[in-house]
Structure 1
Amino acid sequence: MTEPHLLVDMQDITVSFGVVKALKGVSFDLRPGEVHALLGQNGAGKSTLIKVLSGVNERDGGSVLIHGRQTNFRSAQDSRDSGIAMVYQDLSLVPSMSVAANLFLGREPHGPLSFVRSKPLVEAAQAYLDEQGFPIRASAGVASLPFAYRQLTEIAKALMGDIKILVLDEPTSALSAGEEEILFNTVQEVTSRGVGVIYVTHRLQEVFRISDRVTVLRDGLNVGTHNTADITMEKLVSEIVGPGHERMAQATLSIDEGDRRMVISDEFAAAATRRTPVIELKGVQNGRLRGVDLQVRPGEILGLAGMIGSGRTEILETMFGLRQADQGEVLYLGKPVTWRSPRDAITAGVALVPEDRHLEGLVLGDTIAANTALPQLPHLTRAGMFNKGEATRRAKGAVGDLNVKAPGINTRLKNLSGGNQQKVVFGKWLVPEPKLLLLDEPTVGVDVGARDEIYGIIRRFAQKGCAVVVVSSDLVELELLCDTVTVVHDGRATTSVHISEVEGEERLHHLVQESAR
């Protein structure tokens, strides 16, 4: 029987896409003022379920009650009109417009002759952002914002108006600790007003911090709903990965406890220090960097920690030829280089996995085979003829080597889960093997199982002698993966520590906070 005060009551929801059954009789509910976490690996059915709630996906069977009333949303607008606000991983902002224009899109204040009054719009947007505690300039263009600030803008937009139900899909995937606090405070504030929050995440530590209840989906089924206070991390991970995956469960548990890291032998470390750095920055300055000194040797994994906007991504962009050094020197394999474009860097053996895979890393409407061929198109083309056989061989190799779960290499990227999409981004760089691998938030929006696989992929690159640079807002991830971590602040590389000097995430967090003072 339906509880009388439920905001959402979904019963026996079934959804099919052709012969694939995405949801097989899933039930889920949400109470006023609670945070209900929704968990599961990529492909478990989480996105399908919330898209049924939002009116994007139609259900084949089952019922959806909102505020106790039977509903059958035909569009996202129907859902919004019922007081449901959705924040997806795939942001819906208009990059060419300002933050203010995005917040008030469709509700702009108009003056005479129906012209939009831009000054009042910006002032109203800034007042709202300040009130909510979002550190964003309303006048800023969305395209110029770091990904994390675009994510916060999307959340701010969702909170405007009279909402009763807020759905957050991987809201902290690219946020640093400071931005996470803003989000958590916002969630606490809206739930105090009776708003119910559905919180989709792969970061299990957040579940225990912020949620009241948790539901786990696996293979389109609800395998358990629990009060968060009554379940352990170990039990939660076991439900997510399922029976027969005890080793994956144990590895995932270790990752989320932050107690497993890559161990480098003393012999390997000593040999690495004697080898010429793959890349070295000496006093590099440009529009964003201010005298950066860094070096990364073969087989080394260097982590870059810091607040959003600190210059971490700009260091990668400089290493990849997206930014030029106005002063200082970039040495690659011991020789000064001036890359005019990323093509020069790619030809030299540099690979980049960007922060936003949908916008910068993949062509979602194209196939796995086409995407894996992209970086090496000049080498796969002779006399204007594309070597389809070689491209096919490379794509099959990437799918096999990286355990990409897909029907075949002609599967379109938009039909893959987030974790498998990210594996394809890595797969683009398998042949030829890179000498320098640059990673910007490499596990954003990736589930616990796929995340462990990606960590294994990163280590394999390093073990083959590739130098790796990792930017991550997840300090546990940096502690787990890296040999050395360098803190970046205001365009400068400040403190560097060997991972043996780090005793837990708190030490790294302290270093980041100290650099910002």
Structure 2
Amino acid sequence: MTAQQPLVDLRDITVSFGAVKALRGVSFDLRPGEVHALLGQNGAGKSTLIKVLSGVNQRDGGEVLIHGKETNFRSAQDSRDSGIAMVYQDLSLIPSMSVASNLFLGREPHVGAGLVRHRTIHAQAQKYLAEQGFPIKASARVDSLPFAYRQLTEIAKALMGDIKILVLDEPTSALSAGEEEILFKTVAEVTKRGVGVIYVTHRLQEVFRISDRVSVLRDGRNVGTHNTSEITMEKLVSEIVGPGHERMATDTLSVEEGDRRSAFQDDASVRSTAAPVVELRGVRNSRLNGVDLKVRPGEILGLAGMVGSGRTEILETMFGLRKADEGEVLFEGKSVRWRTPHQAIAAGVALVPEDRHLEGLVLEDTIAANIAMPRLPHLTRAGLFSKGEAQRRAKKAVADLNVKAPGIHTRLQNLSGGNQQKVVFGKWLTPEPRLLLLDEPSVGVDVGARDEIYGIIRRFARNGCAVVVVSSELVELQLLCDTLAVVHDGRVTTCVRSSEVQGEERLHHLVQEPAR
């Protein structure tokens, strides 16, 4: 293989699903030792293209050349056998098994009679994780890990084999700044060995930091391939959103640059003097160590902190997923001890979870069914389910939130990530909650859909809902939130107005300072 010959050469690839043309003559190549970023809005064709490379989707036309040879993968195993490792947004780990067992799944060292050497597996896995700089215990069960550490485990698993081509689909979607550094360092190391990396992301700042080239898909076509050093952020955003969307391009660029004057910032937001919707007083449990916090009507409060700091656990305690062993939770001025999320929902609390696929949606079911699920008591009279009312609410949610789908009976698995996330919000539209809890609300969402989701969040706040946001993207917290609370070791260590934090560097300093 010459230095010029691509590891991957996709030529004029077409893919159709029924009458829908997902790819329309897309060409894309990957060279040894480079990082080639693949961008586009949800539904542009990125996932379809990488699934052609993985053997999951079969092409209708075009050629796939691997190491210069025409190839026709019939299965994911064919792709793996050719030295291609895929890391999807939908993780392939087995939650009930340990990290070590997941890493060695299918290649376990055996002793006689087919018995597995578990001690050997755990020792080798821990050594490998330490060498790669992954802060994960090999003995930990996957379902006990924060989502970010599950994502790192998936990446570690992909890197264990003899790979030549690595495909990363939204790899930093739930990673903190420190964990991103681990990933970027790992990518740099594998490219030194000649491995080519296809990097799918919606975070445009990463593209300029990590990639050598960038390709943009829009409506199933490749609308541009550039050397990263030769394209501006503005030009890149314009290619992603397409002609006729210049305003969206301008707003998105403001988000990427952290401009608080963007269209997403509500200039009318002011500190409320109303009584808090929710208040935590000295709350302690297995993960929280004395949390004091207030959120008022119409206020958007952001929880900033490292993975494992207790951010998600604060939301879970507010939602009844965790008990307050000590201290007090007050909702609309009354002390509450919710034993289940059902009690919290009945009181007017809603949660958009971090992992929408695992915790927020039933992908095999329809839009209408998903929107009805948390509101079943409201839709049932004398033991009879009101199908008509459920469909009316689903149609309203699809219209209000601009969900792009053929109809309310479309299955969630057939929607793009941004539209799936809108359906998660749609579950809570009728009746609107008094307290909305958001855990990584824009994970895996493209630049256009992110704009719409920010608008949805602001609309809830304008209607008097108190909103609490957990996000690993500090720029997102600055853009969205009126108030920022820094969480460290199960405590709120700092609480400031967003307007008082000048620049992302200052917020990074606040987040990391307690850990020093």
Q: Hey, what does 1:365 align to over in structure 2?
A: 364
Aligned counterparts of 1:187 and 1:19: Cα–Cα separation in 2: 38
Aligned counterparts of 1:246 and 1:3: Cα–Cα separation in 2: 39
**Partner SS, residue 101 of structure 2:** helix
User: What does 1:35-46 align with in structure 2 at a 5 Å threshold?
Assistant: 35-46=35-46
User: What does 1:60-79 align with in structure 2 at a 5 Å threshold?
Assistant: 60-79=60-79
Q: Hey, what does 2:402 align to over in structure 1?
A: 403
Map Cα deviations across residues 258-302 of structure 1 (whole Å, 9 max, x no partner): 103565668x625x1x21100000000001100000000000000
Q: Hey, what does 1:314 align to over in structure 2?
A: 313
User: 1:108 Cα deviation (Å)?
Assistant: 0.7
Q: Hey, what does 1:83 align to over in structure 2?
A: 83
**Partner SS, residue 337 of structure 2:** coil
**Partner SS, residue 110 of structure 2:** coil
Check the 8 A contact 1:15/1:24 in 2, yes or no: yes
Q: How many residues align?
A: 513
Map Cα deviations across residues 111-163 of structure 1 (whole Å, 9 max, x no partner): 22211111110000000000000000000000101000000000000001110
Check the 8 A contact 2:302/2:468 in 1, yes or no: yes
Q: Are positions 1:476 and 2:475 aligned together? A: yes
AA aligned opposite 2:368: A
Q: Are positions 1:200 and 2:200 aligned together? A: yes
Check the 8 A contact 2:265/2:480 in 1, yes or no: no
* Consecutive unaligned residues in structure 2, runs of 5 or more: none
**Partner SS, residue 113 of structure 1:** helix
TM-score (normalizing by structure 1): 0.98
Check the 8 A contact 2:398/2:426 in 1, yes or no: yes
Aligned counterparts of 1:4 and 1:250: Cα–Cα separation in 2: 37
AA aligned opposite 2:446: D
**Partner SS, residue 190 of structure 1:** helix
User: 1:434 Cα deviation (Å)?
Assistant: 0.4
Map Cα deviations across residues 434-465 of structure 1 (whole Å, 9 max, x no partner): 00000000000000000010000000000111
Aligned counterparts of 2:258 and 2:340: Cα–Cα separation in 1: 38
**Partner SS, residue 215 of structure 2:** strand
User: What does 1:23-422 align with in structure 2 at a 5 Å threshold?
Assistant: 23-260=23-260, 269-270=270-271, 272=272, 274-422=273-421
Q: Are positions 1:458 and 2:474 aligned together? A: no
TM-score (normalizing by structure 2): 0.98
User: 1:75 Cα deviation (Å)?
Assistant: 0.6
Map Cα deviations across residues 320-375 of structure 1 (whole Å, 9 max, x no partner): 00000000000001111110100010000000000000000000000000000011
Q: Which stretches of structure 1, 4 residues or longer, exceed 6 Å deviation after superposition?
A: none
Aligned counterparts of 1:22 and 1:389: Cα–Cα separation in 2: 33
- RMSD over aligned CA atoms reads 1.1
Aligned counterparts of 2:231 and 2:66: Cα–Cα separation in 1: 28
Aligned counterparts of 1:110 and 1:494: Cα–Cα separation in 2: 49
Aligned counterparts of 1:341 and 1:57: Cα–Cα separation in 2: 41
Q: Are positions 1:492 and 2:491 aligned together? A: yes
Aligned counterparts of 2:378 and 2:403: Cα–Cα separation in 1: 24
The worse-fitting range, judged by mean Cα deviation, of 105-114 and 232-241 is: 105-114
Query: CA separation of 1:102/1:263 partners in 2, compared to 1, >3 Å: closer, same or farther?
Result: closer
Aligned counterparts of 1:4 and 1:204: Cα–Cα separation in 2: 27
Check the 8 A contact 1:487/1:515 in 2, yes or no: no
AA aligned opposite 2:336: V
Aligned counterparts of 1:201 and 1:65: Cα–Cα separation in 2: 24
* Consecutive unaligned residues in structure 1, runs of 5 or more: none
Map Cα deviations across residues 16-45 of structure 1 (whole Å, 9 max, x no partner): 000000000000000000000000000000
**Partner SS, residue 223 of structure 1:** strand
Aligned counterparts of 1:472 and 1:264: Cα–Cα separation in 2: 19
Check the 8 A contact 2:4/2:31 in 1, yes or no: no
Give the share of equivalent positions with the same residue, in percent.
81
Aligned counterparts of 2:68 and 2:365: Cα–Cα separation in 1: 42
Check the 8 A contact 2:3/2:32 in 1, yes or no: no
AA aligned opposite 2:93: L
Q: Hey, what does 1:436 align to over in structure 2?
A: 435
User: What does 1:494-513 align with in structure 2 at a 5 Å threshold?
Assistant: 494-513=493-512
AA aligned opposite 2:248: M
Check the 8 A contact 2:277/2:331 in 1, yes or no: yes
User: 1:3 Cα deviation (Å)?
Assistant: 8.4
User: 1:247 Cα deviation (Å)?
Assistant: 1.0
Aligned counterparts of 2:362 and 2:399: Cα–Cα separation in 1: 20
Aligned counterparts of 1:453 and 1:251: Cα–Cα separation in 2: 11
Aligned counterparts of 2:294 and 2:514: Cα–Cα separation in 1: 20
Map Cα deviations across residues 26-83 of structure 1 (whole Å, 9 max, x no partner): 0000000000000000000000000000000000000010000110001111111111
Aligned counterparts of 1:486 and 1:515: Cα–Cα separation in 2: 13
AA aligned opposite 2:197: V
Aligned counterparts of 2:293 and 2:260: Cα–Cα separation in 1: 26
Aligned counterparts of 2:77 and 2:401: Cα–Cα separation in 1: 39
**Partner SS, residue 461 of structure 2:** helix
Check the 8 A contact 1:4/1:68 in 2, yes or no: no
Aligned counterparts of 1:221 and 1:410: Cα–Cα separation in 2: 28
AA aligned opposite 1:431: T
**Partner SS, residue 138 of structure 2:** coil
